[in-house]
Amino acid sequence: MARRLNNRDRNLEWRRQSRIFNGLAKQFRPMFDSTLQAAMREMVYTWEHVGFVQTPSTLYGKIEGIYKALAQAAVTQMGRRILDQGKAAGVVLEVKEDLATMFMRWALEYIFSELMRTRITNVTETTREEIVKAVARGYADGLGQREVAQRILEEIPEMSDYRANLIARTETHGAANYGAQRAAQYSGLPLRREWISGLDRRTRAIFRDDQFDHVEADRQTVGMDEPFLIRKRTGGVEALMYPGDPAGSAGNVINCRCSVGFIVDESRLFD
């Protein structure tokens, strides 16, 4: 049998991983913020001259570049942590390539997946939609074109700050957990995984009218290749390979703070 984590170890692991997630989000939030602000301003200036909101041609590439850097940092930090834990436990790893090269390969696998390409596209499209909505609000309030443009320019810092924080927190969380998953698989240890929720007032739960239940998911244990099953308010479950899995619905992954604990199945150590 695999021994489950005790409450002390679970709480300690959640706090440690939360510090990593928060540090990564703090590092990349300003990059998203400045990029989104510049793109929004360009959209407003273009709209003033041509009459419609157009996504800057360079925006996708700039957002993709931030995602690549984010994924590399998150995968490296969490991947190295998991491998170091294995070494501390006496596991001898057969390293077949330079660790930095391996972490970069994992990060690119993550970023170039179809799901993540869609996420990056959604960021650019949502940025444009924010400006379109702001233009519509201005006209609805009876403002002229120049007044609408001026008001949007004044609102942009607040708009971009909110979205940058949301994106940075969500994306670093998913990439870091992906890195942990890949490193755990690479270790060769017979492992199981346990979902660790923060269990505070911010943890999403159906009894709080959230769409998914992470309170109930706490302590759920699955194999390395099995998904966690997260109960939906509308009935049934949604499968996530790890907290923040980009395959999940927005209501299941955005601003998620849950972690994963890896449990050695001692009965299979010497198989």
| pLDDT at residue 83, as a whole number | 85
For residue 259, the cross-strand partners are: 196
Note down the domain range covering 176. Answer: 7-268
Q: Is 1 a domain residue?
A: no
Predicted model pTM: 0.91
Tell me: the pLDDT tens digits for 120-138? 999 999 999 999 999 999 9
Contact 25, 205 (CB under 8 A): no
> What total of structural domains would you count in the chain?
1
Query: Which letter does DSSP use for residue 242 in this model?
Result: S
Task: Give a yes or no: residue 174 inside a domain.
Answer: yes
Cα–Cα distance, 86 to 189 (Å, whole number): 8
Angle at 262 between CA 261 and CA 266, to 5 degrees: 140
Is 240 within a domain? yes
The per-residue b/e assignment along 188-227, b for 16 or more CB within 10 angstroms, e otherwise, is: ebbbbbbbbbbeeeebbbbeeeeebbbbbbbeeebeeeeb
Look at residue 72 and tell me if it is in a domain: yes
- Assess if residue 2 is contained within a domain: no
pLDDT digits (tens, 9 = 90+) for 12-51: 889 999 999 999 999 999 999 999 999 999 999 999 999 9
**184-237 residue pLDDT tens:** 988 888 889 999 998 899 999 999 999 999 999 999 999 999 999 999 999 999
